[in-house]
Copies of this chain bind each other. A is one copy, B any other.
Amino acid sequence: MDTTSNGAEGAVVPATKAAATRDRILAAAARTLSLKGYSATRLADIAELAGLRPPAVYYYFASREELIAEVMAVGQSRLREHVETVLAALPHDTPPMDRICAAVEAHLRVELDLSDFATAVSRNSGQLPEDIRARLREDSAAYFELWRDLLATAKAVGAVRAGIDLRVARMLVMGALNWTPEWWNPRQGSLTGVIRTAQSLVRHGLGAP
């Protein structure tokens, strides 16, 4: 069902051997980007992790930039889709603030545990060349939109304290979440611990008493 070492990179099982190699390169790039960051990511590092020589990468991708752009695109959409899926599975009468907390959990899980691609996005989105950034814009905007809606709905039913600037609050919350890969380490704290505290912070930070 899956090709990577990382628990649940939910790639469809590749149809051909070639597609498998391509996925392996992509996954290696995602992992390297998530660990070392954009500037320190050499094509040679990626190739090595994928068990290949650097030129082989060009058989599958037009350029290093192309490869990285694809990692980011996958990461961005995987992030958004995971959160959307989780939200869609909630009972229809779930209170808005509970939906926000579910989104917090989903975001953290995908970013810290499920996908190197998502990690790569949050760790590097601020460092990308304009070129790549432009390609992410649409998907990224959709994700912001999702959060905007979550907050707006909560506000509409009076679940958000007065005096909170919704745009600012949204960016602060997303910032707190996006920064987690910089400090969280699976070996020293439990993921559910992070999730619980983040939810508590958000719920009481935004919520009316």
CB within 8 Å of B: which residues of A? 37-40, 123, 125-127, 129, 161, 163-165, 167-169, 171-180, 182-184, 189, 193-194, 196-198, 200-202, 204-207, 209
Q: How far is the CA of A183 from the CA of B207 in the complex (A)?
A: 23
- Min CB gap A174→B, angstroms: 7
Query: How many copies of the shown chain assemble into the complex?
Result: 2
Question: With A179-B178, A201-B206, A205-B204 given, is the CB distance from A189 to B167 under 8 Å?
Answer: yes
> Which of B161, B167, B175, B196 is in CB contact (< 8 Å) with A200?
B161
Q: A205 — nearest CB in chain B belongs to which residue?
A: B205
The 10 sampled A-B contact pairs (Cβ below 8 Å) are A165-B189, A168-B189, A172-B180, A172-B197, A175-B175, A175-B179, A204-B206, A204-B207, A204-B209, A209-B209
Quick one: which of B39, B176, B201 contacts A164, CB cutoff 8 A?
B201
Q: Which residue of the partner chain, among B126, B168, B175, B196, contacts A163 with CB atoms under 8 Å? A: B196
Further 12 A-B residue pairs, CB within 8 A, beyond A164-B200, A175-B180: A39-B127, A40-B127, A127-B127, A171-B184, A172-B198, A174-B179, A175-B175, A175-B179, A178-B179, A201-B205, A204-B204, A204-B207
Name the residue in A129, A184, A189, A201 with the highest tally of chain B Cβ atoms < 10 Å from its Cβ: A201
* A180 contacts across to B, CB distance below 8 A: 171-172, 175
* Pairs of residues from A and B, 7 with the lowest C-beta to C-beta distance, nearest first: A175-B179, A205-B205, A39-B39, A201-B205, A176-B176, A168-B197, A172-B176
Nearest chain B CB to A150 CB, angstrom units: 15
What is the CB-to-nearest-CB distance from A135 to chain B, in angstroms, rounded to a whole number?
17
Neighbour of A126 across the interface among B37, B171, B201, B204, CB < 8 A: B37
